[in-house]
Structure 1
Amino acid sequence: MKITIDDSSVYCYTNSRNIDSSKPSIVFIHGSGMDHTVWTLAARHFARHGNNVIAVDLPGHGRSTGAPLQSIPSMADWLEKVLDALEVEAAAVVGHSLGSLIALDFSARHAKRARALAMVGTIVPMPVSGAILDACKNNDHAAFDMLTQYGLSKRHQYGGNRSSGIWMVGSSLRLYERSQPGALYFDMNACNEYQNGLESASTVECPVLMVLGSEDRLTPLRGTGPLQEAFHQPEVSVIQGAGHTLMMEAPNALLDALHRVL
């Protein structure tokens, strides 16, 4: 489904269905340099369980046109415009990495529009190393290599996949390689500069779920304590053996976890 926001075309994957106002809605937000396809399995699953699903391509990503947005708050405000255009009053928001920060900021500042929040592969603050930022800024393929290496657990870099016929390392690299030049830098820099996350978390009123990988090296489990403490009684699900890219590494375990709030 394509809609128009701020004179730009926005692609929303809806499992080929129109929005039904009688059903609950779930919005899925991808991570840095990615697109809606990372949420295909989850979106199809929840669509078949009686929900409207809306997996967005952020501006300048995937099939959405326009320039990439450069801050988490601007992305959260853009998300509200998406809901307005689709005539969705409130939705559960699910985000991975960058998307988790967008979902957090949206749930804090647009509280009446968020009925549940699920943050996947997350940490607050979310600092990005200088080496990765420099590579992203220079459109250096090394950025894709580093994010793929650290985004997958060591176990999942040896080949094999729970989804037949898919190579995790190759899939991750191809996903980054098809991103628009500059998009990955703006995304990673937005993560690095977002400093209001803990304050925002303390104001979130809807049910909250954090899904974390025990082997995550980009947003390590050991650093998530402050965020867990900032929320009011969040659900926390730790997937053993999984790294940062949970949608690829542990798809079924992730779906089981998401059902706790969706």
Structure 2
Amino acid sequence: MDIPVNGHPLYAYTGGKPFDAAQPTVVFIPGVLNDHSVWILQSRHFAYHGWNVLAIDLPGQGRSQGTPPASVEEAAQTVLALLDAVGAPRAALVGHSFGSLIALEAAARAPERVSQLVLCGTAFPMKVSPALLDASVNAPEKAIHMVNVFSHSTLSPPPSALGPGTWLYGASRALMRRMLASNRAVNVFHTGFKACDDYAGGEKAMAAVQCPTLFVIGAHDQMTPPKSARALAKLARQPSVVEVNAGHALMTEAPGAVLDALRKFLSALR
């Protein structure tokens, strides 16, 4: 589904369901060089269980047009503009990695618009090593390899989000290459990483969030270590923490556990 946002079509996977104003809405926000597909199990479940689902591609990448957001704050405004565009007065926001910072900032900027907040694979500060920032510009294939090594705790857990035996490492590399190639004018790899590295408002944003917040943590996450997420959770008003047996790519390494955590959290507060 293409939704006009800030003058450009923003793609959102809806599970094939039309928007119903009588239903609650949940927005799924991906991380750097990821798209709506990383949420495929979770988003499809909610679409078929009484929710409006908007699993988005960030602007300027994947199936979305426009300019890639250069900051967490800019991306957060896009999410709020998306809610305006579809006529959703409130929504639950679910974000992963870069997407978790975007969801956090959006919830802080418009607390009355966000019913629940879920931060998956999050950390603050979300600093990126200078070597990885440099590689994202000068050696992107090397950087993609580095990210995937640190994002996965195992290569083919049964069952995976795409079926038993799926090579998660290879599938993730292919997705990242595709996302990088989707914008020839702007390096969305470097832009996204720099936005994460530059974001300084996490603690202030967490203090401004009014809704319950769920932290879904990968026990073996080397990109956003669990201790960083737990430190941020201490600043939340109504925090819940669920740890799953996965690395940073927790939606595909532990799809069932992530879905169970979302179902319990979102359904309890619906």
Identify the TM-score tier after normalising by the shorter chain: over 0.9
TM-score normalised according to structure 1 size: 0.95
**1:75-96: CA deviation from partner (whole Å, max 9, x where unpaired):** 0001111111111110000000
Give the whole-Å Cα distance in 2 for the aligned partners of 1:183 and 1:237: 30
Tell me what 1:33 maps to: 33
Q: Spell out the pairing of 1:14-93 with structure 2 (5 A cutoff).
A: 14-93=14-93
Tell me what 1:116 maps to: 116
Count how many residue pairs are aligned between Structure 1 and Structure 2. Answer: 258
Give the whole-Å Cα distance in 1 for the aligned partners of 2:234 and 2:259: 24
- Check 1:115–1:201 CA distance in 2 against 1; reply closer, same or farther (3 A cut): same
Deviation at 1:64, TM superposition (A): 0.5
CA contact (8 A) 1:161 1:168 kept: no
Do structure 1's residue 144 and structure 2's residue 149 form an aligned pair?
A: no
Aligned counterpart for 1:256 among listed residues 243, 251, 260: 260
SS in 2 for 1:202: helix
- Quick one: which amino acid aligns to residue 264 of structure 2? R
Identity of aligned residues (%): 41
SS in 1 for 2:125: coil
Supply the RMSD in Å over aligned alpha carbons. Answer: 1.2
Aligned counterpart for 1:245 among listed residues 242, 246, 249: 249
- Quick one: which amino acid aligns to residue 78 of structure 1? T
CA contact (8 A) 2:211 2:238 kept: no
Tell me what 1:218 maps to: 223
Tell me what 2:188 maps to: 183
CA contact (8 A) 1:76 1:102 kept: yes
Deviation at 1:139, TM superposition (A): 5.1
- Check 1:161–1:177 CA distance in 2 against 1; reply closer, same or farther (3 A cut): farther
Deviation at 1:225, TM superposition (A): 3.3
* Structure 1: runs of 5 or more not aligned: none
* Structure 2: runs of 5 or more not aligned: none
Give the whole-Å Cα distance in 1 for the aligned partners of 2:17 and 2:47: 9
CA contact (8 A) 1:198 1:226 kept: no
Tell me what 1:171 maps to: 171
- Check 1:4–1:139 CA distance in 2 against 1; reply closer, same or farther (3 A cut): farther
Deviation at 1:6, TM superposition (A): 2.5
Deviation at 1:165, TM superposition (A): 4.7
